[in-house]
Amino acid sequence: MMRLSLFFFLAGTFTVLGESYSQGTRLSLNLDKVTIKQVFNEIERNSEFIIVYSDDILDVSEEVSMQVKDSPVERILDQLFASSPVGYQIKDRQIVITRKTQNEILGIIQQPVNQISGKVFDEKGDPLPGVSVAVKGTTTGTITDFNGSFKLVIPEGGEVLQFSFVGFRPQEINVGSQKVFNVKLAEDIMELEEIVAVGYGIQRKSDLTGATSRLTEENMNKAIATSPIEMMQGRVSGVNIIQNNGEPGSGMSVRIRGSNSIRSGQEPLYVIDGIPLDNADVTPTGGSAAGYGSGAEKNPISFLNAEDIESIDILKDASSTAIYGARGANGVVIITTKKGKQGRSSISYDGYTGVSQIREKLDLLSAEEFRSYAKADGSKLLDLGASVDWQDEIYSTGITQSHNLSFSGGTENFTYHASVGYLDQEGIVKSTEQEKLNGKINVTQKAFDGRLNLTGSLIASHIIDNRAPITEASGSGYEGDLILTALKTNPTYPIFNEDGSYYQHAKDQRNAVAMLNLVDDEALTDRILANISAEYEIIKNLKYKLNVGFDRTVAERRVNQDKQLTYLANKGEADINTVNANNRLIENYMTYLTKIGADHSFNFLAGHAYQFFKVSGTETNVNGFEVDDIKYTDNLQYGNFSTADVSSFAYERELQSFFGRVNYGYKDKYLFTFTGRFDGSSKFGENKKYGFFPSAAFAWRISDEEFMKGDGKLSNLKFRLGWGLTGNQEIPDKISLLAVGTTPSANGYFDGNLTPGITFLRTPNPDIQWETTVQTNIGIDFGFFDNRLYGTLDVFNKKTKDVLLEVPAKAPSATQTQWQNVPDLEIKNNGVELGMSGMLINNKTASWELGFNISYIKNEVQNLPVKLIETGNASGQGLSDTRVQVITNGEPVGTFYGMVWEGFDDDGMSVYKMDENDVAVKEPIGSALPDYTYSINSKFRYKRFDVSMFWYGSQGNEVYNNTANTLFLKGPLDKGNNVIKEVLHSDENPENSNAFSSRFIEDASFLRLSNVTLGYSFNVESIKWLESARIYVTGNNLLLFTDYSGYDPEVNVAADQNGVPSMGIDYTAYPKPRTFTFGVNLQF
Amino acid sequence: MIHNKLIIYLSVLGLFSAFGCTDLEENVLDEQLGGDLINNPANIESLINPPYGSLRRTIEWYDYWALQEVSTDEVIVPTRGTDWYDNGAWMELHRHTWTSDHVRMKNVWDALNQGVSRANTAIYYIGQFAQNATSEQYINEARFLRAYFMYLINDLFGQVPFREADDLDFSTTPMVMDRRTAADFIIEEITAVMPKLKTKAEVGSERVTVEAAHALLAKIYLNYEVYTGEAKWADAIAHCNDLINAGVFTVADDYWTMFQKDVAEHSEFIFRVPMDDTVDMGSGSVWVNFTLHYAQVFGNITSTWNGPSTTKTFFETWDMVNDVRFYDGRIKNQTGFNQGFLHGQQYGLDGTALKQRNGQPLIFVPEINLSSAPENAGIRVVKFAPNPATERQFSSPNDVPIMRISDIYLIRAEAKLRNNDASGALADINFIRSKRSAAGKTLPALTSVTLDDILKERGYELYWEGLRRQDLIRFGKFTEAYQEKPVTDASKQLFPLPTSATDVNENLKQNPGY
């Protein structure tokens, strides 16, 4: 009945600008015998005006003719309505057609008995224009004017007035004998009409059938979030994010609904503005000198500027992700960047500066305590007389500053958003730093009467990473990386010799300060993500879209290790390593929206996508440098360039996909979604090029049923059921093909000459294919008390089959292992997720929103054809060939496995649980997977102050403290290493072995106060040029409750074995800082 | 409206025109996929190289060598506080408490089977070329090498999986030979290729030769009783005679010449693995780094690990004064230590008395507690001389003999004694002993010989050369007690098949006792 455009509301909020739009706009019309409606359409098409009217005020089918030239719109409207009983009002770009008052028509004052009037306000008491006011059960209605006022004649039998407006909760009022109505509409906090991103499109949240979560600026973690992934951490139920360590820009492990695989490649698919990224690590390796490992992997989307992100949608269940087929099994994260908005230009500046410090140092022996320690035979440890706290020597306060400037705006046909960002984040380990420069431009252009919609965006980033010689588990050797060295070094060793040079005790007892200052490790990474898309509406509701994307990364890392470092194999050493990655995408798809009858609505999607990836890299290592005053990498000729170690690699892969989706809604209450995708990958075997990934989902909006109405407490209830198949195609390249080549161990050496040997390098498997995950999801969305209390509950069951594994080949065969989709093996994840939020206080002066979420996931491996798969390579002396984790039947992925420690005997030697043959029993001794994870957030506003707080935690998971297993024992102390104070008082015998056992498995449950922010928004009403201004202080990582004895229980260093990833292992991980930030947000 | 239809038509075309724009063929950029490379007769050298390359794995200290030595009285790797526990691998090996999950057994199984597979590849692909003298020689060498790796597998595990060279479908389950079948197959293979092999005079001891074939047959016949229950002493003696009488080999007058850093060919060597510390061979045994104490660094050898030692049991069998094989000082001026056995106070290159990390003097003593030994516990052994000036301190500069003529004399002595020819045995053993004397050191000749004497002599001559386990088993001593090792069950004379092997090949039946 009533044509009420959503734009009305949007436009209505922009009344400040363009007061004179109507005066400045002139139109020419030459129309012969057309309907009034066509005149309206013509006006709307040739201007930015939006015309709002009600059918019962005006019959738009009436035919008119109109010839005007260069006329203001008022003149056209006056002419049009000269003989009609209607008037109009213009405010900015809106034209509202109103009924002429009786006065105006008849020229006399004659109040009808059943006429009422009133005014509609929002909660702040500001008048609301454009609110629809209708008499229930009749066709009578009107719209409030710009003062929020309305007048209405109540027809015969009219008893109830209905007020409704987009973004506000509808209200009904009994008419009775009242004549004047002052109505206050409450904002709809549930924002039921929220739009969310789904694969290849957007959807109203209320129409969703799958399990997805959306984060917007409101509820993302800000404040020193250098990567979008950090902004998600702890915010979404069912998504477990672990920041692997505290290095600026460090890697994150993201597991959406558990571990589905027993290989690497468990990260979700990231889609940025429609472009699926490749998760390939583009971090070049570091130096190759002994003890200098490759460093932690960086996270794949850290190049994005956190400030540029509009929203993050996390697709969790198979019915949502199956549209991404063979890449959907690990979940999909859709990131939408900010776009310009029509009618509104704005400039904003966001900046902050922060200080970071180590949260808590390990409690090592001081030089004094170290000196006073006497061994069993009474002898003392080596004392060189100095007193150094080596932790203090490597940790310092890091300063972070960030500046972001953006401007955006647009007209009806053109919008733009541009931003530049600068971030300089110093780590808490000296000389570690990440500097990031970002630029982004996004433009949209409409053409052909708005039927063609062009979008272009360009995101560019330049990142400079400065690193210290800190490495992940394997690779640091027993000599130790920077942190291990600082922890173990004798505190009586001086830093410098008397001549000013570094005191370097021995090859395996290095000087941490020398390592810091004599190693220069800088990586530069440039990335461009560009895309352009064109959408054309061919006929009404049939749209064709072409999307072309390009993602390119060039990274170069240069490492200089100074010749003064005595542990280097051959004088000074230089490394130059590069990685080059390309990702090209072309997508075509069509959508068609239609309605059959009043009750059946359909939305079809069909498309094709082709994506091409190419990654290549080089590595160069030269040693033997003796020069001073020059960075070795700047001129390799000064080194032993003729014996340089060089290597390179390159691979490319293609993906081709055909996909489709049907959304069907019956009466808007029963919603069905069916998707399917054929995915082909060049990585798949000759016999298995394409896989099919279907899904189906059903949702029932129970609260829209008649029988649920009338109960004022329940405001929303939706039931969802989904099923789908998704794939994981993150399998290694080339494994379907036989490879023949040379390897040093195959070379021949005769007569003093080395000659190449050709041998099989891989046993091919032409049947290799993706892993398949079947997932079923049941969910309920609910809202009570006008949605002031709302939440989502999901229960899911996930099962991965065709699990890809490198299994022993049937010897003798081409190689010792072969990649296979193991037939019966299953990895199960069953889980429950609950997220709830409540608006406890909500009035003009104060509001308080409290939310929490909790996830429980049970992981289990079944039908593994071998007894155990080992992973989790322990590091350190005496721990060679020690794997601490296994994958085995009936246990979850990430199970720690080893001897059970029962304490010390009288001699201070370890006692283990024994079997009847007096052999130590090995059994599961813990799990790196938590029983459940949870988070609590609170947002409180009082007048102009806001306080928010965010806690998250994990319960029931264990961590293997490899650092303690290597360092913090009596033996190392007696050898002259520093240890934590606890060791001093332990009964351990110095000759006790450090065999891995449950002794070093620690409870890693924790609760962290991740963030507290206190903000103040200034009253800027009197400052014309300022839209808003807010200042805030934030504390990050303020409190940590845990029994874990290391730096941080939230840790995950890479200790893979044969490509099987490990979890929950701590070996000298870079500690997470505590950070205080002061920031400003300004909008002009 | 025509306009619209056209657009529909075009976009539908655009939508689906990409069909078949790619066949998704994987385009491999940084590897050769084979075909051309392996089928090119010009690459024949490259095809025979890989099985030779696999020989280097058999002299890696932590692989095959460790299984044959750490399980015996010659080598003990004690846990020293927080060093060398290594998931119990070394303690289990020494105490015979290993299981089928022992990582070293899996690695050795894989390495030896890789040798078999590489030999098969050579046999098959060289066999596809037009045949000439070279291709025939290489195929025969590959057949010998395959037999050699099978012999090692058979000796350790008692079962040998087998594929014919032309079986390229690696998804099929290979058949498995039991110990006797394997031994007979190996003998048959070697016998078949022997007449066609080159001689040491033609190609040197770094390649497979007719002499190497004799030596391997002698070894297999010597152990044939262990493998099958049936003795073949006469066959062993016959092949030893062939070698000794050929006049190609002479027992060294100076024992230690074989173990110097720059030695390549040597009059004793029948079959050797050439090693070089100037090139990357994918491996290289760290013969000195692994045993020396942390303080014993010299030249470019800067990383020493304080690991394997010898047992008190073995140490005390020696004539420490007269046997030249016990001690040789010729490298001391480059290293600070001697070759042979390192015991007592150790000195640096400059003559200073070395200290342990705790400041105590570094005195190597034979007393060892396997599960928690101090830094100085254990007598160390340096057989192969290091290259102090090396730029690859973890590569071996020494060519390593895996068959040499002294061994053949001792095999003949043993076979003769077991074949009731005691005087023949005595002559052979005394011949070797006479060669192991030097100025001022006279190793007395034996007046009579027992099996015990032969085992002892084998220990003196061949210690730390990767033969001890096989010898102890043949003499029935493997299960006896020695330092830090109790009497163990006879089933320990075979290693368990690795779980990773039995998991995938149901034809392999786990050995009894595991």
Q: Which residue has the higher pLDDT, B333 or A876?
A: B333
Helix (H) or strand (E) holding A319: helix A318-321
Instruction: Give the phi and the psi of residue B332 in degrees, each rounded to 5.
Output: -60, -35
Q: What is the structure's pLDDT at A75?
A: 77
Q: Which residue has the higher pLDDT, A790 or A156?
A: A790
Q: Please count the other Cβ atoms lying within 10 Å of the Cβ belonging to residue A13.
A: 10
Between strands A1065-1066 and A958-961, the pairing is parallel
Mutate to test the interface with A, among B19, B82, B106 (most CBs of A within 10 A): B82
Could you please report the per-residue DSSP string of A1020-1037?
Answer: -TT-TT-SEEEEEEEEEE
Q: What is the structure's pLDDT at B203?
A: 95
Residue pair A852/A838 in contact (Cβ under 8 Å)? The answer is: no
Q: Taking residues A469-481, what's their average pLDDT?
A: 68
> pLDDT band for position A289 (50/70/90)?
low
Inter-chain touch B504–A807, beta carbons under 8 Å: yes
* Rounded Cα–Cα distance for residues B195 and A930 (Å): 67
Place of tokens 């009002």: A89
Residue pair B47/A758 in contact (Cβ under 8 Å)? The answer is: yes
Q: What is the structure's pLDDT at A190?
A: 44
Q: What is the structure's pLDDT at A361?
A: 94
Q: Which residue has the higher pLDDT, A629 or B487?
A: B487
Whether B1 shows a pLDDT value over 70: the answer reads no
The backbone region for B43, taken as left when phi is positive above 0, alpha when psi lies in -120 to 50, beta otherwise, is alpha
DSSP state of A229: H
Q: Longest Cα pair distance anywhere in chain A, in angstroms?
A: 122
* Rounded Cα–Cα distance for residues A350 and A354 (Å): 13
Could you tell me the two tokens for A468? Answer: 């210290």
Q: What is the structure's pLDDT at A965?
A: 93
Q: Taking residues A886-912, what's their average pLDDT?
A: 93
Could you tell me the two tokens for B366? Answer: 């034979």
Within 13 Å of residue A940, how many CA atoms lie on the same side as its CB? 8
* Rounded Cα–Cα distance for residues A253 and A236 (Å): 15
Whether A67 shows a pLDDT value over 80: the answer reads no
* Rounded Cα–Cα distance for residues A552 and A530 (Å): 9
* Rounded Cα–Cα distance for residues B173 and B34 (Å): 24
Q: What is the structure's pLDDT at B300?
A: 87
DSSP state of B448: S
Whether A111 shows a pLDDT value over 60: the answer reads no
Q: Which residue has the higher pLDDT, A545 or A378?
A: A545
Min CA distance, B20 vs chain A (Å)? 9
* Rounded Cα–Cα distance for residues B170 and B37 (Å): 20
Whether A711 shows a pLDDT value over 70: the answer reads no
Whether A5 shows a pLDDT value over 70: the answer reads no
Between strands A910-912 and A883-887, the pairing is unpaired
Nearest residue of chain A to residue B263 (CA atoms)? A752
Q: What is the structure's pLDDT at A107?
A: 43
Nearest residue of chain A to residue B393 (CA atoms)? A569
Burial class (CB in 10 A: 0-12, 13-18, 19+), B132: exposed
Contacts (Cβ under 8 Å, ≥6 apart) of A600: A664, A665, A666
Residue pair A7/A50 in contact (Cβ under 8 Å)? The answer is: yes
Q: Pick the closest to residue A415 from A443, A451, A457, A383 (CA basis).
A: A443
Q: What is the structure's pLDDT at A293?
A: 52
Q: Pick the closest to residue A1000 from A949, A1035, A962 (CA basis).
A: A962
> pLDDT band for position A12 (50/70/90)?
very low
Instruction: Give the phi and the psi of residue A705 in degrees, each rounded to 5.
Output: -70, 145
Whether B352 shows a pLDDT value over 50: the answer reads yes
Residue pair A353/A326 in contact (Cβ under 8 Å)? The answer is: no
Q: What is the structure's pLDDT at B16?
A: 52
With vertex at residue A421, the alpha carbon angle to CA A420 and CA A423, rounded to the nearest 5 degrees, is: 160
B502: chain A residues, CB-CB within 8 Å: none
Q: What is the structure's pLDDT at A18?
A: 36
Could you tell me the two tokens for B92? Answer: 């289990």
Place of tokens 């003719």: A65
For a pLDDT cut of 70, what percent of chain B falls above it? 95
Residues belonging to chain A: 1084
B110: chain A residues, CB-CB within 8 Å: 808, 811, 816
Inter-chain touch A755–B14, beta carbons under 8 Å: no
Inter-chain touch A991–B33, beta carbons under 8 Å: no
Whether A1 shows a pLDDT value over 60: the answer reads no
Residue pair A680/A689 in contact (Cβ under 8 Å)? The answer is: yes
Place of tokens 């092997």: B501
Instruction: Give the phi and the psi of residue A907 in degrees, each rounded to 5.
Output: -90, 0
Mutate to test the interface with A, among B26, B154, B203 (most CBs of A within 10 A): B26
pLDDT 10s digits, A927-978:
999 999 999 999 999 989 999 999 999 999 999 999 999 999 998 998 889 9
With vertex at residue B19, the alpha carbon angle to CA A819 and CA A658, rounded to the nearest 5 degrees, is: 65
Min CA distance, B262 vs chain A (Å)? 11
Whether A824 shows a pLDDT value over 90: the answer reads no
Q: What is the structure's pLDDT at B90?
A: 94
What is the count of residue pairs from A and B with beta carbons less than 8 Å apart?
297
Q: Which residue has the higher pLDDT, A251 or B388?
A: B388
> pLDDT band for position B6 (50/70/90)?
low
Whether A904 shows a pLDDT value over 90: the answer reads yes
Q: Taking residues B149-161, what's their average pLDDT?
A: 97
- Which three-class secondary structure state does DSSP give residue A635? coil
* Whether A941 contacts chain B with CB within 8 A: no
Q: What is the structure's pLDDT at A192?
A: 45
Q: What is the structure's pLDDT at B453?
A: 96
Q: Exposure pattern of A286-322 as b/e (b: 16+ CB <10 Å)?
A: bbbbbbbbbbbbbbbbbbbbbbbbebbbbbbbbbbbb
Q: What is the structure's pLDDT at A4?
A: 35
Whether B345 shows a pLDDT value over 90: the answer reads yes
Mutate to test the interface with B, among A373, A745, A768 (most CBs of B within 10 A): A745
Nearest residue of chain A to residue B5 (CA atoms)? A538
Between strands A50-54 and A63-72, the pairing is unpaired
- Which three-class secondary structure state does DSSP give residue B118? helix
> pLDDT band for position A744 (50/70/90)?
confident
Inter-chain touch A878–B89, beta carbons under 8 Å: no
Q: What is the structure's pLDDT at A15?
A: 35
Least confident of A455-459, A594-598, A669-673, A1063-1067: A594-598
> pLDDT band for position B34 (50/70/90)?
low
* Rounded Cα–Cα distance for residues A147 and A138 (Å): 25
> pLDDT band for position A291 (50/70/90)?
very low
Within 13 Å of residue B381, how many CA atoms lie on the same side as its CB? 23
Residue pair A778/A700 in contact (Cβ under 8 Å)? The answer is: no
Whether A105 shows a pLDDT value over 80: the answer reads no
* Rounded Cα–Cα distance for residues A1061 and A251 (Å): 14
For a pLDDT cut of 90, what percent of chain A falls above it? 45
Inter-chain touch A761–B31, beta carbons under 8 Å: yes
Whether A1010 shows a pLDDT value over 80: the answer reads yes
> Going edge to edge, which strands form the sheet with A883-887?
A869-873, A883-887, A895-899, A922-927
Place of tokens 């003769």: B416
Min CA distance, B76 vs chain A (Å)? 15
Which amino acid belongs to residue A1066?
D
Could you tell me the two tokens for B254? Answer: 């100076």
- What is the model's pTM? 0.79
Q: What is the structure's pLDDT at A528?
A: 95
Whether A802 shows a pLDDT value over 80: the answer reads yes
Min CA distance, B359 vs chain A (Å)? 8
Q: What is the structure's pLDDT at A344?
A: 67
Q: Please count the other Cβ atoms lying within 10 Å of the Cβ belonging to residue A953.
A: 22
Place of tokens 């063929």: B25
Nearest residue of chain B to residue A766 (CA atoms)? B171
Q: Which residue has the higher pLDDT, A185 or B194?
A: B194
- Which three-class secondary structure state does DSSP give residue B413? helix
Q: What is the structure's pLDDT at A500?
A: 93
Q: Which residue has the higher pLDDT, B20 or B431?
A: B431
Q: Please count the other Cβ atoms lying within 10 Å of the Cβ belonging to residue A447.
A: 13
Nearest residue, CB atoms, A757 vs list B50, B79, B204? B50
Instruction: Quote ipTM for the complex.
Output: 0.89
pLDDT 10s digits, B238-274:
999 999 999 899 999 999 999 999 888 999 999 999 9
Residue pair A331/A314 in contact (Cβ under 8 Å)? The answer is: yes
pLDDT 10s digits, A498-552:
999 999 988 778 999 999 999 999 999 999 999 999 999 988 889 999 999 999 9
Min CA distance, A51 vs chain B (Å)? 27
Q: What is the structure's pLDDT at A109?
A: 44
* Whether A750 contacts chain B with CB within 8 A: yes
Whether B7 shows a pLDDT value over 80: the answer reads no
Residues belonging to chain B: 514
* Rounded Cα–Cα distance for residues A323 and A269 (Å): 12
> pLDDT band for position A16 (50/70/90)?
very low
Inter-chain touch A536–B97, beta carbons under 8 Å: no
Q: Which residue has the higher pLDDT, B40 or A105?
A: B40
* Rounded Cα–Cα distance for residues A233 and B445 (Å): 80
Which amino acid belongs to residue A649?
F
Cα dihedral A3, A7, A10, A11 in deg (nearest 10): -100
Q: Pick the closest to residue A762 from A840, A704, A816, A803 (CA basis).
A: A816
pLDDT 10s digits, A387-397:
999 999 999 99
Burial class (CB in 10 A: 0-12, 13-18, 19+), A360: exposed
Min CA distance, B228 vs chain A (Å)? 24
> Which range scores top for mean pLDDT: A487-496, A710-719, A915-924?
A487-496
Q: What is the structure's pLDDT at A903?
A: 94
pLDDT 10s digits, A160-199:
888 877 667 778 888 887 888 888 887 765 444 678 888 8
* Rounded Cα–Cα distance for residues A676 and A693 (Å): 6
Q: What is the structure's pLDDT at A877?
A: 82
Average pLDDT, chain B: 91
Q: Please count the other Cβ atoms lying within 10 Å of the Cβ belonging to residue A945.
A: 12
Inter-chain touch B82–A878, beta carbons under 8 Å: yes
B101: chain A residues, CB-CB within 8 Å: 867-868
Q: What is the structure's pLDDT at A555?
A: 93
For a pLDDT cut of 70, what percent of chain A falls above it? 93
* Whether A652 contacts chain B with CB within 8 A: yes
Cα dihedral A802, A805, A807, A809 in deg (nearest 10): 70
